[in-house]
A and B are shown apart, each in its own frame.
Chain A
Amino acid sequence: MPSDQALRVKALESLLVEKGLVDRAALDTLIDSYQHQIGPRNGAKVVAKAWTDPAFRERLLTTADSAIAELGFGGMQGEHMVVLENTPKVHNMVVCTLCSCYPWPVLGLPPVWYKSAPYRARAVIDPRGVLREFGLELPADVEVRVWDSTAEIRYLVLPERPAGTEGLSEEALATYASRDSMIGVAKAGLA
């Protein structure tokens, strides 16, 4: 039994199709792009390349748009990218307190928790408490930088390369760059 909400959306879609305002095939194309093609695996490739290629890492941190484009990524909700590097002494994390801004071309669409009130409310006032809730306890000598995405700049965190991954291929390294580590609520590592 479809929900009332599902029926209302379906009814609106039918109305817009009937009026000739939307093309169902275009809707399917948009959905397919974000359901099957664009997601955090893109960002993981960017991160893995930065971990293995110092010149790329430099370009990524200074001119993120063109560096990310080298890997074929870019576009909607990632038109103006900035990459933030985590180090042993600096931990960056990203939030959008006002809505749900998120770097789609490299991370896909945001998870529900990222768009929900608890994270948006607390990330700026209690970042260390939020990180603790994600299982990350940061020592006092680490500086936490929270980035509130209030404009059209989209942020990707470059997490620290995990210890013990020396000699791994870029492809193998990419499996360590979790979505949460690229939002900055976790360290990179195998899930």
Chain B
Amino acid sequence: MNGVHDLGGMHGMGSIEPELNEPVFHEVWEARVFALRRAMGAWKRWNIDATRYEVELVPPADYLRLSYYARQFEAFLKILVKRGLVSQREIDTFTADPGTPKAEPALTVEKALALVKNGVPTSRDAPAAARFKSGERIRTRNLNPIGHTRLPRYARGKAGVVLRDHGVFVFPDTNAQFQGEKPQRLYSVRFTVRELWGDQAAPQDSVYLDLWDDYLEPL
């Protein structure tokens, strides 16, 4: 979606403010939001792309105003209801609906340790022919889906060169909407900064993006 999350190239966002000796979490609640999202993810009612899309759906003014974890919390409340793990009434009252059976947590300590250690790979051992080879020129398609996509606005309709083929990966655009993984080739693609931003950019610099087959056309 053409949302405010797609920040690449925007002006007026202010200066970058690194914090000296920054703690991992600034507040206890931030750590709890971080952990709750992973623990509920273990129910497998959604995937990483769906959670990203949910954050993108946070209204634009809120998206920019809220801190990172506050934004994630708002999106988390929404996806819990949408995917049927919690009812809207339960979110409104923070009390369990009467008569609901008690579940067994999907994420145990043991599984949490395994999750940290092994992660959730998104490469797939699926047959998907490579449409492009390293060194080949491509143009990104001018796509403007209302759903989730990982092709940022600043890189649409641009000419680039394939650097490498990463292999076959889950396609976020369909996966985020629970329309299937549609595994396909993922490439590292190089764009000159001039192609992306025009002649005022430094001629020797470039930006690399990881892009799926469906985003690309031969040039």
A78 touches B119 (CB 8 A): yes
Q: Decide if B169 is an interface residue (CB 8 Å cutoff).
A: yes
Q: Decide if B178 is an interface residue (CB 8 Å cutoff).
A: no
B7 touches A120 (CB 8 A): yes
A-contact bits for B106-136, CB 8 A (1 contact / 0 none): 1111011101111111110000000000000
Name the interface size band of chain B.
35 or more
Q: Decide if A11 is an interface residue (CB 8 Å cutoff).
A: yes
Nearest CB of chain B from residue A153's CB, rounded to whole Å: 5
Q: Decide if B166 is an interface residue (CB 8 Å cutoff).
A: yes
B5 touches A99 (CB 8 A): yes
Q: Decide if B82 is an interface residue (CB 8 Å cutoff).
A: no
Complex CA gap A123/B193 in Å reads: 11
A79 touches B122 (CB 8 A): yes
CB neighbours of A141 from chain B (8 A)? 204
CB neighbours of A122 from chain B (8 A)? 13, 16
Complex CA gap A15/B103 in Å reads: 12
- If the complex has contacts A16-B40, A22-B39, A98-B5, are A148 and B24 also in contact, measured as CB distance less than 8 A? no
Complex CA gap A18/B96 in Å reads: 7
**CB nearest neighbor in A for B17:** A113
Complex CA gap A9/B27 in Å reads: 11
B108 touches A111 (CB 8 A): no
**CB nearest neighbor in A for B148:** A98
CB neighbours of B96 from chain A (8 A)? 15, 18-19
Q: Decide if B52 is an interface residue (CB 8 Å cutoff).
A: yes
Complex CA gap A5/B196 in Å reads: 40
B202 touches A140 (CB 8 A): yes
- If the complex has contacts A78-B119, A121-B13, are A22 and B211 also in contact, measured as CB distance less than 8 A? no
B169 touches A152 (CB 8 A): yes
A-contact bits for B22-38, CB 8 A (1 contact / 0 none): 10111111011111101
Nearest CB of chain A from residue B23's CB, rounded to whole Å: 8
B9 touches A124 (CB 8 A): yes
B9 touches A8 (CB 8 A): no
Complex CA gap A148/B26 in Å reads: 26
Q: Decide if B217 is an interface residue (CB 8 Å cutoff).
A: no
B116 touches A151 (CB 8 A): no
Which residues in A have some Cβ–Cβ distance to B below 8 Å? 3, 5-6, 8-16, 18-23, 25-31, 33-35, 38-39, 74-80, 82, 97-100, 105, 108-109, 111-113, 115-125, 127-128, 130, 133-134, 140-153, 180
CB neighbours of A76 from chain B (8 A)? 115-116, 118-120
Q: A76-B115, A125-B154 are in contact. List 6 more A-B contacts (CB 8 A).
A: A15-B90, A20-B103, A117-B13, A119-B16, A140-B204, A150-B210
- If the complex has contacts A12-B94, A75-B117, A153-B186, are A26 and B107 also in contact, measured as CB distance less than 8 A? yes
B24 touches A113 (CB 8 A): no
Complex CA gap A81/B201 in Å reads: 29
A117 touches B22 (CB 8 A): no
A125 touches B197 (CB 8 A): yes
CB neighbours of A80 from chain B (8 A)? 121-123, 166
B residues 64-92 in Cβ contact with A at 8 Å: 64, 67-68, 70, 73, 76-77, 85-86, 90-91
Nearest CB of chain A from residue B181's CB, rounded to whole Å: 12
A30 touches B16 (CB 8 A): no
CB neighbours of A98 from chain B (8 A)? 5-8, 52, 150, 152
A-contact bits for B123-161, CB 8 A (1 contact / 0 none): 100000000000000000000000000111011000000
B196 touches A151 (CB 8 A): no
CB neighbours of A144 from chain B (8 A)? 193, 202, 204-206
A151 touches B34 (CB 8 A): no
Complex CA gap A119/B16 in Å reads: 6
CB neighbours of A6 from chain B (8 A)? 27-29
Q: Decide if B179 is an interface residue (CB 8 Å cutoff).
A: no
A22 touches B40 (CB 8 A): yes
